[in-house]
């Protein structure tokens, strides 16, 4: 394992420990990933409207998103976004399989952005709104879209 990847995993685990500590009592049925249809909380800042992605998908955006993914997401979602990262294996419910949620037509970019920004109720998915800039969260959306493999 590369030193930077190892460091990213270590840092992500430190960030996730408070989240992991609160997961033991989360019932597995709270988030049904098999149905591909999680919903945002009613008090979402967008009042039900999804934002449009202002960052075009480009090599630069994908590279930025890949680095952010490695630093913030890999530990739970795993290298291919399947929800099989080292910390994710201990979560109940397990992290979302991003290859399902990024399948064309399943979710709009704005929904993915809101989940990254606000977290997912009933799961260990934390909110990154105060940890990452708006542009960084959109770069993550662009990158996780690239994880979809038909």
Average pLDDT, rounded, for the chain: 79
- Locate 69 and state its tokens: 């993914």
Please tell me the predicted confidence (pLDDT) of residue 86: 95
- Locate 96 and state its tokens: 């979302």
Q: Is the pLDDT of residue 38 over 60?
A: no
Residue 140 domain-assigned (yes or no)? yes
Residue 13 domain-assigned (yes or no)? yes
Residue 68 domain-assigned (yes or no)? yes
Please tell me the predicted confidence (pLDDT) of residue 47: 58
Residue 30 domain-assigned (yes or no)? no
Note the pLDDT tens digit of each residue in 113-134.
999 999 999 999 999 999 999 9
Range of the domain at 7: 3-23+52-145
Residue range 139-146: average pLDDT? 97
Note the pLDDT tens digit of each residue in 53-69.
999 999 999 999 999 99
Q: Is the pLDDT of residue 23 over 90?
A: no
Distance CA 70, CA 149 (A): 19
For residues 144 and 98, is the Cβ–Cβ distance under 8 A?
yes
CATH number of the domain enclosing 81:
1.10.760.10
What is the total count of domains within the chain?
1
Residue 86 domain-assigned (yes or no)? yes
Residue 34 domain-assigned (yes or no)? no
Residue 134 domain-assigned (yes or no)? yes
Residue 57 domain-assigned (yes or no)? yes
For residues 147 and 80, is the Cβ–Cβ distance under 8 A?
yes
Cα torsion angle, 37, 43, 49, 52, sign: negative
Question: What is the secondary structure of 42-111 as a DSSP string?
Answer: TT-TTTTPPPP--S---HHHHHHHHHHHHHHTHHHH-TTSSS-STTGGG-SSPPP-HHHHTSTTTS-HHH
């Amino acid at each position: 394992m590369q030193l930077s990847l190892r460091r990213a995993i270590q840092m992500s685990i430190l960030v996730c420990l408070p989240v992991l500590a609160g997961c033991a009592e989360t019932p597995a049925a709270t988030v049904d990933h098999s149905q591909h249809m999680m919903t945002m909380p009613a008090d979402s800042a967008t009042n039900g409207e999804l934002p449009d992605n202002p960052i075009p998908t480009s090599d630069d955006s994908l590279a930025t998103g890949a680095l952010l993914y490695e630093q913030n997401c890999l530990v739970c979602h795993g290298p291919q976004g399947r929800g099989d990262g080292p910390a994710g294996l201990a979560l109940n419910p397990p992290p979302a399989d991003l290859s399902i949620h990024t399948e064309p037509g399943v979710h709009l970019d704005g929904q993915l952005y809101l989940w990254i920004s606000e977290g997912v109720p009933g799961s260990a998915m934390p909110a990154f709104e105060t940890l990452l800039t708006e542009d960084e969260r959109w770069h993550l959306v662009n990158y996780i879209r690239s994880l979809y493999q038909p």
